[in-house]
Amino acid sequence: MEVLLEKSTPTNATLTVKLAKEDYQPKVEKTLKDYSKRVNLKGFRPGKVPTQVIKRMYGKSIVIDEVNQLLSDTVNGYIRDNKLQVVGDPQIDQAKTATIDWDAQSEFEFAYELGLASDFEVSLSNLPAVSTYNIEAGEKELNDTIENLRSQFAGQINPETSEEGDMLYGELKQGDFSTKTAIPSKQIKEEAQAKFVGLAKGDVITFDIRDTFVDDKAVAHLTGLKDEAAAELSGDYEFTIEDITRQAPAEINQEFFDKVLGVGKADSEETFRSQVAEIIQRNYAREADALLRRDIDQALLDNISIDLPEAFLKDWLFKVNEGKFTPEQIDADYPQFTKSLKLSLIKNKIAEQVDVKVDSEEVVARAEDMVREQFGFYGNDMGAEMNDTIRKIAMNYLTSEKENNYSKMYNLVFDDRIFEVLKGQLTLEAKTIDVDQFQEIVKSLSQD
């Protein structure tokens, strides 16, 4: 066997594999013998079919299978042993392969096109400082959050007179048309809102249906007609009010504390506010952490130069997606793809430098944490039975055949481990900012 790598550019290479008969024939002979023991043919006792008969019937396909397996092992082994930074998948020269005469040839030559990332070094000590933020949430954020929670857990009341935002129930009429319906305030045009304020049960209001509601879908919802029929409606309609409902913010009491935090977690408004403030601070700490991840990733990309084989990768992306995307779509998405690819290459090299390894128990533990968060469980002190249930759900998720969930969860754990390494080795400049300043930073990033 002969394997030869030839680079045409720093990021493009051809890997040629030449196979002689002695490279694959021993495995072919072994497979032929295995077949002769397993194949049942008329005229021969089970397990006693002569090898020559098997060779005439299956010899060509066995040779092809064994050569292909040897090729795969050889190419992957060469890439691994020589630590080639291969991007995309090796692409076999189909034109050369198509000329092979499997009946007559015993020696074969195959060529693979390889895409390579250029050589690069990762020296974290040479990277510039990255800002890390401590976001201070004050009384305004606490009060706004509590008001949002009161709206989230709002109850319903039936006031005597209507206000903007109320839901009006009653009978809608025009000529022979009549239906019981509801008018939500949000479906009324802004300039028509005042007409529906200050009304009481039994009041009758007349309005032009086209000038009152925001669109045809709102008219269709109001009348119960299909969109096409509703689009044809016009003129004045009469509405008799039978009931008014209003969402009333939840009262600040024990029932509200229990709904938000869990039963018995807070027994006074002071304790409730203190715990909500802690939750807000933790949430902003996570957002600050997400921003730090983004900034560290950008610092890696800005300061570590990696060249990639653009034409090779675009061609590979088109082929591997089996025509799901046009070349134009691949061109548009290519910058984001290369960003992700470069970060993966950099982080893999960091993992090699500091010997980061992720074991299966870490992956399972991360999946269990995900399950706890989804069901609103926090901490591990929930009893053996509940912990067993959570583990079963996590294992079912990881072993799902439909999605590559184990790989996704592995990558999350790996990325967290690398993030901790980067936080420990990079120079971080701590900055304390308020919520408004943080939102301005996030807004500016979204506009880049």
Which tens digits make up the pLDDT trace of 168-182? 999 999 999 999 999
Residues 6+ apart with CB under 8 A from 248: 154, 155, 156, 157
| pLDDT exceeds cutoff 90 at 323 | no
Helix (H, G, I), strand (E, B) or coil at 45: coil
pLDDT, tens digit (0-9, with 9 covering 90-100), for 82-116? 999 999 999 999 999 999 999 899 999 999 999 99
Predicted TM-score of the model (pTM):
0.73
Q: Could you tell me the pLDDT band of residue 55, with boundaries at 50, 70 and 90?
A: confident
* Alpha carbon 428 to chain centroid, angstroms: 28
- Rounded Cα gap, residues 131 and 426, in angstroms: 10
CA end-to-end span of the chain: 53
* pLDDT (average), residues 145-163: 93
Query: What CA–CA distances, in Å, run from 444 to 261, 325, 366, 437, 439?
Result: 34, 31, 32, 11, 9
Q: For the chain, give the mean pLDDT.
A: 91
DSSP class of residue 213 equals B
pLDDT, tens digit (0-9, with 9 covering 90-100), for 245-276? 999 999 999 999 998 988 888 999 999 999 99
Task: Give the residues across from 244 on adjacent strands.
Answer: 168
pLDDT, tens digit (0-9, with 9 covering 90-100), for 236-246? 999 999 999 99
Q: Could you tell me the pLDDT band of residue 33, with boundaries at 50, 70 and 90?
A: confident
- Rounded Cα gap, residues 2 and 87, in angstroms: 23
User: Which two structure tokens, joined as six digits, stand for 14?
Assistant: 């051809």
Across the beta sheet with 12-19, what order do the strands follow? 2-9, 12-19, 108-116, 86-92
CB 71 within 8 A of CB 296: no
**% of the chain surpassing 90 pLDDT:** 77
* pLDDT at 377 (0 to 100): 59
* pLDDT at 338 (0 to 100): 96
Q: Could you tell me the pLDDT band of residue 381, with boundaries at 50, 70 and 90?
A: low
Structural domain boundaries in the chain: 2-116, 124-134+288-432, 155-248
- Matching residue, tokens 């005469």: 101
Query: What CA–CA distances, in Å, run from 117 to 4, 9, 11, 14, 356?
Result: 19, 11, 6, 14, 22
| Angle, CA of 117, 118 and 123, to the nearest 5° | 105
pLDDT, tens digit (0-9, with 9 covering 90-100), for 1-17? 999 999 999 999 999 99
Q: Does domain 124-134+288-432 have CATH number 1.10.3120.10?
A: yes
**CATH class of segment(s) 2-116:** alpha beta
155-248: CATH architecture: Roll (3.10)
Q: For 138-157, give the DSSP string.
A: -HHHHHHHHHHHHHHT-EEE
